[in-house]
Every structure is written in C-alpha cells, then in structure tokens.
Amino acid sequence: MQLGDILDDVALDVATSSLEIDRVEIDSRVCGPGALFFAMPGTKQNGAAYAREAVAMGAECVVGSVSISLDAPVVVVPASQLPALLAHACATITGHPETRTTLVGVTGTNGKTSVTTILATLARALEWNASNIGTLTNERTTPAPPELYRTLASTVSSFDSSRPHSLVALEVSSHALDQHRVEGLRFCVAAFTNLSHDHLDYHGTMEQYFETKASLFTGEYAKRAVIWVDDPYGERLAAATALPVTRVSRSDAHDVVNSLRGSTFFWRDHLVNSPLVGDYNVDNALVAMAIMSALGADDAQIAASMADVTSVPGRFDVLYGRGITVIVDYAHTPEGLERLLRDVRTLQPDGRLITVFGAGGDRDRTKRPEMGRVATQQSDLTIVTSDNPRSETSDAIIDAVMSGCVSDAQVVRESDRRRAIALALESATEGDIVVLAGKGHEATQTTGDLVIPFDDRVVAKELMR
C-alpha cells in the first residue's frame, strides 16, 4: 500500500507519497523493508532516539513530532496528533478489522481477564464467532496499536463467515488508556469490574487512576456501558457517565451455591449451572452475562450456555493430590488476594489455609505491605516468596511484604519459589488447602535479564507426585 493512501490526511511530496508500505511499527528493532516507523513519545525516552536504528533496519519512512536528518523521509506532525495518526495508519494497513466485528472493552483492576475470557467462551457457546485479546493472548494486557490491529485482523479473518454474529473482547488497561493504545476503536459495550490499589507507581493517586479508567466510558470510545456497581468506584462511574448503563450487582444472583466443582444460581429468573469455581467468579459471570444481554442475546439462552463455559487459565485453578487441595490464582493486588482467600475459606472452612505468594518487581511498591497484611490475616500459614523480581532483588521485595504482616501470624520467608511451594505442600495435611497466588497462568519467571520456565500449576503437580 502506498504511504499516501495510509497518511491520507497528511501533506506529502510525490516521492514520499509513493513509498510502498506493508506494516507499521513503533519498535525500531523489528523494522525492515516496507516498514513505516512511528517515533512515539515514551514515559522515559522519545522514539525519535531510535529513528536512525529503524532506518538502518530498513524502515522506509519515519513519522514523528520532531525533525530528524535521516537517510529516509521524515514526516513531522504535532505530538498531539501522533496517537490518532498511528491508530489510523495501523487500521488502514490491516484493512480496518475494527469495523468487521463487535468490540467489547473491559477495564478494572481485577477481573478483566476472567470477564473477557468468560464472555468469549459464552458467546461461542451461543454459536457466535468470538475471541478475546489480553493477558492470556499477548505480552501486554492491551497491546500497542501495531500489534493490536494485527491481532484484530488475524482474529477477524479466522471467523466463520457463515455465522451472523461475532465479537472480540479486549482487556483495556489504565496504561493503555493513558497511552492512547485504544485510540480509534469504538466499543459497542465498555464494561467496568472494580477499582482497587494498584499501579499507583504510574498514576500517583487513586483519583487519577479512576479518572483514567473512567475515560473509556465516553462517547468517544463506547456506545453503552455495563458497570459493576457494588464497587464504590463503579457506582460513581455509573452515576457520572452519559452512556446508557446496565448496572450489575451481586443482588442479580439469587440462591447462590458454591463448591470446588462450580456454582449454581438464578439470574433473571433463569437457572445458571456454571463450572467456574470461586465466589468472585459468580461476579465475573454476572458481568459477562450482562454484556451478552446488552449485545442482544436471549437471557434464557445465556443462562443455559453458562454450563459450557470453561475455566479461565490461572484463575482459581483447582488441583488435587494426597488429600490436599491446591488452588492457583493470579491474584496480585491486596483486594484480589483478600477476595480469593475469603472465597477459599468459605469453600473449605475446616482445613488449614496455607498461602504462598510474592510481589512483582518494578511494579507498585506501596501495595506490598498491604498484601502481607491481607495474606497473614486470612491464612494459617503464609510463605512469602519471589514472584517476578525483574530488576529488583527478591529479598528487598520480601522485606517490603513482610513489613505489613500481622505480628502474631505464622510466616515463613523463602525466596526460591519452587522451594516455597514444596514447603507449603510438606506442611499441609489431609483437608488443608494450599493457595499459590500471584502468577496464575504465567509460565515463566523473570529475574533480571533471565527468563526461566516456571508455572505454578506444573510445579505443584510435579511436587505432589
């Protein structure tokens, strides 16, 4: 495709306009012949610093907000226009996949992955084309526009054209909203799960964190909203948005029965029999069902199809061995961990609760003591270990977590995560539950520049054998 057709609203000379472009990139390292490189401003450095490398790799042209002398054409536009122009270029080069399906955006601190996954599997059970994009499918929760539009294009092209309905459920992070990664997308439904302590290293305050999330619930991004109003921020959002709102609450579920095999409840006078485990998954299911209803699906069929929804990887995964129940979950915020441990207590109140968890490096440090407090208040034995230390030391992170542990709690520190899991299993007796929190579906562990295979589910199964 010629550059003039991609940047159709930008004045270009004839030679530049005639350049053949086959992809858009913001990472200079993956550029090559046919690439259009956008030098985007970053939180630490402007992409213009990598423009020369992009051209050396073969990029045909550079788009940025500053003039640079390069061996390739440079298109200069105001910095405020760059995000929208990047989205437009990505959409154009991939054939505007966002217009060929129904888009649903889900945001919130906890539950984004669960709701989008439940929604996609529920839609497929209703014989829709459906897929989800987020933590389980891409490196970032919400990919940057070049990757996002390529993923959308690949997803939409794989759909069965004989089916009349399709949807793509996208996890929308606060970082993505702040960095304009979903610029140019229009969601048929925007959904909100909850808001709690996380990412304050980036946003600074809970108020700013909320305002960033709330920006999704405007006419610029969405046509209607589905909002969990049992959360105080959700109630506030539902009252403030000008979008039509479906309010979702735990009171929408009646006669709830939970077990380690699943849950049953009544929703809008229809029986729901779900294989999803955990009380918090009832909440996630209610949001997903409300979204499907808002999209026009029949309520009775939605309720019946919940029986075919599969569990979400790394979210309340239940393993059994030697009379011990092991639960692997991604809970990595104070509220998420507290909700998980309370659910576990309810499901199996007689045995001891042993919790293994850590906190990720290079992430919000202020939540670490809170997680220590929550874990030790809810658990009979807490083993604090490493998560993904990244550039920090495991011991420094563990120190911060343990500074919040309650004084009379039984706490052990073990920086080696495999040994920590082994210690938990050795300490457990028949009827106990061991919770491995923080990593969930993740199959690797990052320490410095070293990335090694590590999956809590695999390690637990190996040790239980």
The DSSP annotation for 419-460 comes to: HHHHHHHHH--TT-EEEEES-TT--EEEETTEEEE--HHHHH
Nearest-10 Cα torsion for 141, 144, 145, 147 = -80
pLDDT computed for residue 323 by the predictor: 86
List, as one string, the DSSP characters of 348-373: S-SS-EEEEE---TTS-STTHHHHHH
Q: Percent of the chain at pLDDT above 70?
A: 100
SS3 (DSSP) at 260: coil
Cα gap 435→328, rounded to integer Å: 6
Q: Is the predicted pLDDT of residue 201 greater than 90, yes or no?
A: no
pLDDT computed for residue 38 by the predictor: 97
Q: What is the pLDDT of residues 130-182, one digit of tens each?
A: 999 999 988 888 999 999 999 999 999 999 999 999 999 999 999 999 999 99
With residue 224 as reference, give the H or E element that holds it.
strand 222-228
CATH 3.40.1190.10 domain locations along the chain: 97-308
Strand pairing of 61-64 and 324-329? unpaired
Q: What is the pLDDT of residues 24-68, one digit of tens each?
A: 999 999 999 999 999 998 877 889 999 999 999 999 999 999 999
The sign of the torsion formed by the CA atoms of 390, 393, 396, 397 equals positive
Higher-confidence residue of 222 and 197: namely: 222
At the top level of CATH, the class of 97-308 is: alpha beta
Cα gap 346→333, rounded to integer Å: 20
Q: Looking at 136-255, list the stretches that DSSP marks H as alpha helix, in order from N- to C-terminal side.
A: 145-157, 174-178, 200-203, 206-214, 232-240
pLDDT computed for residue 44 by the predictor: 77
- Which of the four pLDDT bands, split at 50, 70 and 90, describes residue 203? confident
Q: Is the predicted pLDDT of residue 265 greater than 90, yes or no?
A: yes
pLDDT computed for residue 42 by the predictor: 81
CATH 3.90.190.20 domain locations along the chain: 317-464
pLDDT computed for residue 400 by the predictor: 97
Q: What is the pLDDT of residues 267-284, one digit of tens each?
A: 999 999 999 999 999 999
The sign of the torsion formed by the CA atoms of 343, 348, 353, 356 equals negative
Q: Are 203 and 212 in contact (CB under 8 A)?
A: yes
CATH number of 317-464: 3.90.190.20
Q: Are 104 and 193 in contact (CB under 8 A)?
A: no
Q: Which CATH number fits domain 3-93: 3.30.70.2740, 1.10.3720.10, 3.40.1390.10, 3.90.1150.10?
A: 3.40.1390.10
pLDDT computed for residue 124 by the predictor: 97
74-98 average pLDDT score? 96
- Which of the four pLDDT bands, split at 50, 70 and 90, describes residue 257? very high
pLDDT computed for residue 355 by the predictor: 98
352-374 average pLDDT score? 96
- Nearest CA among 86, 85, 94, 216 for reference residue 149: 94
CATH 3.40.1390.10 domain locations along the chain: 3-93
Q: Is the predicted pLDDT of residue 446 greater than 80, yes or no?
A: yes
pTM of the model: 0.93
- Which of the four pLDDT bands, split at 50, 70 and 90, describes residue 289? very high
pLDDT computed for residue 443 by the predictor: 95
92-96, 103-107, 198-202, 446-450: which has the minimum mean pLDDT?
A: 198-202
pLDDT computed for residue 200 by the predictor: 81
Q: Is 344 exposed, middle or buried (0-12, 13-18, 19+ CB in 10 A)?
A: buried
- Which of the four pLDDT bands, split at 50, 70 and 90, describes residue 375? very high
Q: What is the pLDDT of residues 318-349, one digit of tens each?
A: 999 888 999 999 999 999 999 999 999 999 88
pLDDT computed for residue 115 by the predictor: 98
Q: Percent of the chain at pLDDT above 90?
A: 94
Rounded to the nearest integer, the mean pLDDT of the chain is: 96
pLDDT computed for residue 32 by the predictor: 97
Look at the block and give the residue holding tokens 């920090």. Answer: 392
pLDDT computed for residue 14 by the predictor: 96
